[in-house]
Structure 1
């Protein structure tokens, strides 16, 4: 805000210049990768009910089909980190869109469980690459004041994709409907590819690769008129000249990743990535309809509850987008993660209620409360913190480690959730997830710094100042 003198001598506050539309276009179009990510990971929850019957899948086989996309994501994340460091963020996102379309069509046409698993592996490559590259691309183009909400737009699009998947799953439920559920993902994939073509490359990547003039031109299009673009470029370039930019080759990158000064940032990025899965969200996304059906809910009620989960995820995404720049990343987690753990514990106890009507209301309300609180908390922050705390020189590869950690623990949850329920019972399994929410709170309180309102260069200088 700027103070202006009026003719009467009084002061009037002028609004800050509005960011150009291109900045929002960069965030919105690239965040379509999040919508595809959400849809392709969420649709399996609805498809599994009919898919399991059509292909006569056992519990173990269902876990394999669900988990295939996660195995692919674990591979897609590090590969995209290397490619985006070498070729740029934008070309990788365009390529990811093509892989999304290919995987969606292959899944829809798969004649057997084995080929469907392979197709889901291909989709996983795109999911892992999108979840790694898109947040980095948005972080490197956004100004500090808007960076949080623009990056949380990615998670909001993930939630919208999951909600759409539940709605599509409910509408297309029935024999053979799962093929159309998978095929529809090709449409937004084409939109993402076409939408990315006119967008600019990350200015920070351009500086890192020795193109400051092109970076200055891009920043002038992404910042309001009159913004001090030269100072921002100089700040980015200063870190590069100081030796923090751009190790070349895998050996040099590995050397930086092992640096003592980088360990606190890696611990934060990897810890938040792990807890985003260990706290149980994707167990609910993947298996809630199956768990509810096994607990005595009707199939249509279970699918409608899945739609409710999608609605809660969208509301959580909106809440996270509004709060993450207003109250900060760390405080948001400290406020919401204990409440998320309590809601999960209530859900566990609700399954023990003797009265069916009371049990069903308690289960649904506790499930919705958990999804909202966990979604507005750690799910809003998980894709935001790693690109913020990790330095430019290894942001692509290091963020890919955090992304691979997300998918690795997601895979762990996917292949153990139903087995754990069969071995220990549903309430005990849910209580373990509740405990993980509280352990996440302890980790945030002890290790996670606040990054709200700071430039990426300020965060990096603070990190390097901790080097002993």
Structure 2
């Protein structure tokens, strides 16, 4: 075996290990967003029975408080990571993860729960904007798609873990207080993230932006196949940073029309992914299944299927993403999502309550989630780490992901109300919205497959400055 092949394997192992450590933040993100579906049925019990006495309205408030915190965390973590570095921000977020997990587990009342869920949301949102960026800035172009998708894999794995844990605890322990233990388990990924951050290198692009070129060279040498590859990439990063050095502050970083257009696409993609209704399924699948007459424990067990399908779909997506264009995957996923939502609407509106209806509804949810997590979720997080230029990546990613969390909160808050008022017609409404998303992606979404971050930046500037004609299937797209 040649020295180059040995070096390639060694650098790949290092990058996968870095991604595994960094995505502990994504695991916490997934667990904290998924566990609420198992905890809510117990939290709706009266306080005298061990719950918090939640009503449909306060259920929405509790579920969405984490998401509003996520919007706040994503926005400020993005800016702070540009200033202080991705690693320092992730260490601080790990501490917030731990505080939020403890706070929600011991919350004595509704408003304490809302406040601590908001704090937990800051950590979740901050991790969602920082983890993919750090991985993308460390990864070589040939590894970037799969490594960034590992973040999505850990998100859905965390959600799957939450579903399995919730169903298992509910089955094994006949206690109305079991929901507190469900929430406390979120401490584990928080501790792993904090400890793991001491073994992850600093982003070479951030180091160059701070004038620490020697450190950046050392980092790149350790994570690239050859010294020549590391030197070439370092020169590209230095050249790009020199061009961008005059940018400072929020207005300075966003002072060109092409950047605002790119930011609008990032925000639009957040709308696309959230208004598929994916988190309505993640948070409220037990509620959907109970609408068909299924019992609480049976609904919790059935929800495990959500997590398992999501993990399998994401693994397939990680394999496919370097073979298909980002744009093609997204459009395929949205098309099947629309069909699955129409199917769900038909099942819930036009079939009598029965075991057949329950299983057909569950099958519709699982088909939806399979294509959502294979084609849409991974592509979204990958694009958020790729689309934006180095000098404003943290800021623009933070703004985009912050609005993504606001869209998430709107869906989480409104869905139980829509379901109670409109029933199965709710899914027809989502289908119409997603047809609009298909049109948006067809017209506006660029292709980034196979390009370095610096090449993507140049392509985006050319396209959105109107300096050259852009085609969706441009260089290296397929």
TM over 0.5: yes
1: CA distance, partners of 2:164 / 2:419? 26
Unaligned runs of 5+ in 1: 3-12
Q: 1:373-414, CA deviations, whole angstroms, 9 ceiling, x for partnerless residues? A: 111121111111022111011000100011111100000001
Residue pair 1:344, 1:433 contacting (<8 A) in 2 also = yes
1: CA distance, partners of 2:126 / 2:353? 46
1:304 and 2:295 aligned: no
SS at match of 2:199: coil
Q: Match for 1:375 among 356, 373, 376?
A: 373
1:89 and 2:81 aligned: no
1:158 and 2:155 aligned: yes
Look up the match of 1:411.
409
Q: 1:279-333, CA deviations, whole angstroms, 9 ceiling, x for partnerless residues? A: 1100000111022113311112211121111111111211211111111211111
Q: 1:248-284, CA deviations, whole angstroms, 9 ceiling, x for partnerless residues? A: 33xxx22432421213321221111111101110000
Shift of 1:197: 0.7
Shift of 1:355: 6.5
Look up the match of 2:25.
33
* Structure 2 counterparts to residues 51-450 of structure 1, below 5 A: 51-53=43-45, 54-173=51-170, 174-242=175-243, 244-245=244-245, 247-249=247-249, 253-351=250-348, 352-354=350-352, 356-425=354-423, 427-450=424-447
2: CA distance, partners of 1:291 / 1:193? 37
Residue pair 2:292, 2:353 contacting (<8 A) in 1 also = no
SS at match of 2:211: coil
Look up the match of 1:9.
none
Greater displacement, 337-346 / 218-227? 218-227
Please tell me the root mean square deviation across aligned C-alpha atoms, in Å: 1.9
SS at match of 2:44: helix
| Distance of aligned partners of 1:287 and 1:247 in 2 relative to their CA distance in 1, 3 Å threshold | same
Q: Match for 1:48 among 27, 36, 40?
A: 40
2: CA distance, partners of 1:436 / 1:313? 22
Length-normalised TM-score, structure 1: 0.93
Q: 1:150-201, CA deviations, whole angstroms, 9 ceiling, x for partnerless residues? A: 0010011000000000011111224000110111110121011101112110
Shift of 1:36: 0.2
Say how many residue pairs are matched.
454
Length-normalised TM-score, structure 2: 0.92
2: CA distance, partners of 1:233 / 1:14? 22
SS at match of 1:172: helix
Greater displacement, 142-151 / 225-234? 225-234
2: CA distance, partners of 1:371 / 1:393? 35
Q: 1:429-450, CA deviations, whole angstroms, 9 ceiling, x for partnerless residues? A: 1111122332222221111111
2: CA distance, partners of 1:355 / 1:280? 23
2: CA distance, partners of 1:310 / 1:17? 34
